[in-house]
Amino acid sequence: MGTQNLIVINGNEFSFEPGETILEVARKNDIDIPTLCHLKGTTPTGSCRVCVVEVEGARSLVASCATPVSNNMVVHTESPPIIQARKVIIQLLLSSGNHNCAIRGSDGQDWTQFQLKVQKDDDSSELCPVWGDCRLQDLAYRYQVSGEKFLATETETPMETVNPFILRDFSRCINCGRCVQACNEIQVNNAINFGYRGSSTKIIAAGDRPLKDSDCVFCGECVQVCPVGALVEKDVRYQVRPWETEQIRTTCSYCGVGCQLYLHIKDNQVIKITGVEDVPPNYGNLCVKGRFGFHFISSTERLTTPLIKENGSFRDATWEEALDLVANRLNKIKDEHGPDSIGVLTSARITNEENYIANKFARGILKTNNIDHCARL
Ligand code: SF4
Ligand code: SF4
Ligand code: SF4
Ligand code: FES
């Protein structure tokens, strides 16, 4: 193997680009290495160790997400020592804090007591709000372990429920740091970071204040990247399980950036919104409006019919009546004062095609070049 930039993974040879990590080369070649703390596009922290692999000649297992590839490296990704190490890591994570989903197990535990504990921990009779949509739970099933091997440790910090959109449940945080990476390196809001030390370590905002009293702008990026149930959308908690929703891809209609998002729909209602990963222009990121500003869709206060103002108050009208009125008024203004007495303002909230039609309408029908767009303001 004299050629440059070659690595062997699980007996197969692959080429790599200088600077790539073992994880990146493996994923590029469809070799699955599990991860928890790794967040694509940010500086690797190597904190969870779930991604450990064996490198021949290395003294211990290495974190594949944080280890750059070197020429002629020989790597194994699923050997018995690796599997054993991952099992212990997952067991430790499951036993620290409140991971009362099914994989916590109920051996030797009275089921009623277990349910009462769930109710006490979550203020709900249901299991963890992200049951069925949790990377730690996925790994527990994959490696067939539960959290009962080690003594369970409880978290003192109470749930933070005072924020408008985000609920923080410190008892489920595994301190993976993905939220910190997302906030600081992707959204560059620098609102949260690790605080305290040792077993007291927790994610804090503004010297350990609620998110609402910090620099947080509630973009919700941290919620989207949290692999467990430590950060959840406040309105969604216990309202829906992942398999009950249909995901429909669409474009955010709030501004001209055109972020790609998924509407999570249940019973014909939008329940939550997430960004579409790996797709331009937003690559999964959203702002507060795109992520949380969707309740208007089902609002009973939405207009369902045109309104015409008469004698200072509005009355319902048909579309035909409303359009006739507008056409007559525009014609009258044009006849009396000329086409340049009319101006048309369009919006970033409508589509390119609709803006194009507005442009045609102004120049071709009204015969004025007075047309502008709110995005220029
Ligand atoms: S919502 Fe956005 S700004 Fe606030 S902590 Fe999360 S990532 Fe940071
Ligand atoms: S809140 Fe979630 S993303 Fe942040 S450190 Fe805890 S588990 Fe990780
Ligand atoms: S998510 Fe925010 S930035 Fe993206 S299109 Fe919607 S409003 Fe614009
Ligand atoms: S994913 Fe590599 S250390 Fe966590």
Task: List pLDDT tens digits, range 353-367.
Answer: 999 999 999 999 999
* pTM score, whole prediction: 0.87
Nearest CA to ligand 1 atom 6: 222
The DSSP H or E segment spanning 262 is: strand 260-266
Could you tell me the distance, in angstroms and rounded to a whole number, from the CA of residue 178 to the centre of ligand 2?
Answer: 6
Residue with the smallest CA separation from ligand 1 atom 4 is 216
Phi first, then psi, for residue 6 (nearest 5°) are -125, 145
Q: Which neighbouring-strand residues pair with 14?
A: 7
pLDDT at 105: 60
Span from the CA of 38 to the centroid of ligand 4 (angstroms)? 5
Q: Which residues of the chain have pLDDT under 70?
A: 1-3, 102-111, 114, 377
Could you give the CA distance from residue 175 to residue 38 in angstroms, rounded to a whole number? Answer: 12
**CA separation for the pair 103, 126 (Å, rounded):** 15
Which ligand 2 atom lies nearest to the CA of residue 37? 8
C-alpha triplet 347, 348, 351: angle, nearest 5°? 95
What CA–CA distance (Å, rounded) separates 283 from 187?
A: 12
Rounded distance from Cα 192 to ligand 1 centre (Å) = 7
| Residue with the two structure tokens 């989903």 | 101
- Tell me the pLDDT tens digit for each residue of 159-217: 999 999 999 999 999 999 999 999 999 999 999 999 999 888 999 999 999 999 999 99
CA distances from 318 to 11, 323, 325, 328 (A): 72, 9, 11, 16
